[in-house]
Amino acid sequence: MTETTRPAAPPNPVRKPLRQLLAASVGNAVEWYDWYAYTFLATFIAAQIFPRSAGSPLVPLLSTFAVFAVGFFMRPVGGLLLGAVADRHGRRTALTVTILLMGGSSLLVGLTPTYASVGVLAPVVLVVARLLQGLSVGGEFAASTTFLVESAGPGRRGLFSSFQYVSTTAGQLAASGIAALLVSNLSDGQMNGWGWRVPFLLGAVLSLVGFWIRRGAHETHAPVERTERPGLFDALRKYPRQSLLICGITAGGTISYYTWTSYLPTYAELNGGFDKSDALLAGTISLAFFAVLQPLGGLLSDRIGRRPLLLFSGLGFALLIVPLLRVVDGGVSFGTLVLVSCAGMVLLTGFTSISAAVNAEIFPAKVRASGIGFPYSLTVALFGGTAPYMGTMFKDIGRPGLFPWYVAALCLVSSAVFFRLPENAHKDLQK
């Protein structure tokens, strides 16, 4: 008697764990490479697509809209929509969609015509490309988080979870390195003419590589029958407490992450008197150190649990961020800046190395991706994405010392959530 009449079971997620890690990590690195490439090359893009001399008043308006829409709208939308795709049609399907979206939008950025050649159509094309990138990045965390954690063998969810930020950091470093290489080897005319397009065209090619790898990965969540598919807002409607937990867990961690990985070089430049190149170099060194720490944090959480690491990170930042940033304010040496940056990365690892596992352990499988995607992306947009803006605002009003206290307050809020969070490290994932 054959078993051909039985529904196909999802493949064993631990049959090829390295392939699973590669599928999630390579794709995630490519996603964030494309995202950060825009950040590092924004000044060159603006000169060609949003020139100050443009006669149309729509140009600066579209520039503002692009930043707003991607940072504060499309990421939560992507988390909701593509999280639902992952819950209904499988994680692998959602992962292939996100990387194709990112590859297509990266290609569109690379081929965007200049304002001089097509007028207002140029910023419109770029806005569309950035909207697609925001949608993709929002969906990537929801899909890759669930895929990574569900792919882990017994006692390895923390370790697998840590590769979320290993790959994110790898993408950021790659984008920074390629941008720096181009700027140092090309003239201003070449960079403004065609050099800024190269990283995006390369990103489109890398997305195809990531797509090929992901297509060969094992599915960790079988597609759901049409009659059993969860509604778009089922996670929020049926699991409101869990959704609020995601927000509480994420608030302190995300502002700490963006403060330390993105804003600290600017903070050192504005308040510590550092040259821009030295501040960025210190940030790059600490980012590489941060990537190495992630698997160690994940492994430790598999042994002692998630809550001790979360409290180490949340309370550590709440107590130490003010003195750490005051050290930077004092105009210290380059070596001291690197040490301060790395110290913050150690604290940050307590959150980043296990956030994917912590989030995935909260929801049942049927709404896991969408349950994580929307509240996480919304919280990142509200607190993480605005961290550089808040830091600059406090500086502008003459109270830069308030910013560390703002970060500390959010970390205390998250720490209160960590105290009440159930310990799920040694329990099976919810079915």
Flag residues of the chain having pLDDT under 50: 1-14
Residue 36 has a pLDDT of 84
Residue 340 has a pLDDT of 93
Q: What is the pLDDT of residues 369-391, one digit of tens each?
A: 999 989 998 998 888 877 777 87
Identity of residue 264: L
b vs e for 139-148, b when ≥16 Cβ sit within 10 Å of the residue's Cβ? bbbbbbbbbb
Residue 251 has a pLDDT of 94
Helices (DSSP H) in 154-260: which residue ranges? 157-185, 188-193, 198-215, 234-238, 240-258
Among 135, 137, 375, smallest CA distance to 236 is for 375
Locus of tokens 């959150």:
351
Angle at 277 between CA 105 and CA 398, to 5 degrees: 90
- Half-sphere exposure at residue 218, Cβ-oriented, CA atoms within 13 angstroms: 18
Among 172, 139, 147, smallest CA distance to 29 is for 172
| Domains by residue range for the chain, with CATH | 13-215 (1.20.1250.20), 232-425 (1.20.1250.20)
> Where does residue 5 rank: exposed (0-12), middle (13-18), buried (19+ CB within 10 A)?
exposed
Please compute Rg for the chain using Cα positions. 21
| CA distances from residue 217 to 22, 24, 90, 96, 292 in whole angstroms, order as listed | 9, 9, 12, 10, 25
Q: Determine the Cα–Cα distance for residues 139 and 145; give it in Å rounded to an integer.
A: 10
Work out the number of other CB atoms within 10 angstroms of the CB of residue 55.
10
Residue 57 has a pLDDT of 60
Residue 372 has a pLDDT of 92
Q: Helices 157-185 and 334-352 meet at what angle, rounded to 10?
A: 140
Residue 345 has a pLDDT of 96
Question: What one-character DSSP code corresponds to residue 147?
Answer: H
Residue 410 has a pLDDT of 94
| Residue 359 near residue 249 (C-beta atoms within 8 A) | yes
Q: Determine the Cα–Cα distance for residues 210 and 142; give it in Å rounded to an integer.
A: 17
Residue 50 has a pLDDT of 78
Encoded tokens for 8: 């196909």
- The residues near 116 (Cβ < 8 Å, ≥ 6 apart) are 48, 51
Residue 179 has a pLDDT of 87
Encoded tokens for 6: 């039985």
Identity of residue 51: P
Residue 75 has a pLDDT of 86
Q: Determine the Cα–Cα distance for residues 118 and 127; give it in Å rounded to an integer.
A: 15
Question: What one-character DSSP code corresponds to residue 332?
Answer: -
Residue 66 has a pLDDT of 63
CA 184, chain centre distance (Å): 27
Q: Determine the Cα–Cα distance for residues 30 and 300; give it in Å rounded to an integer.
A: 27
Residue 52 has a pLDDT of 67
Residue 68 has a pLDDT of 52
Residue 62 has a pLDDT of 63
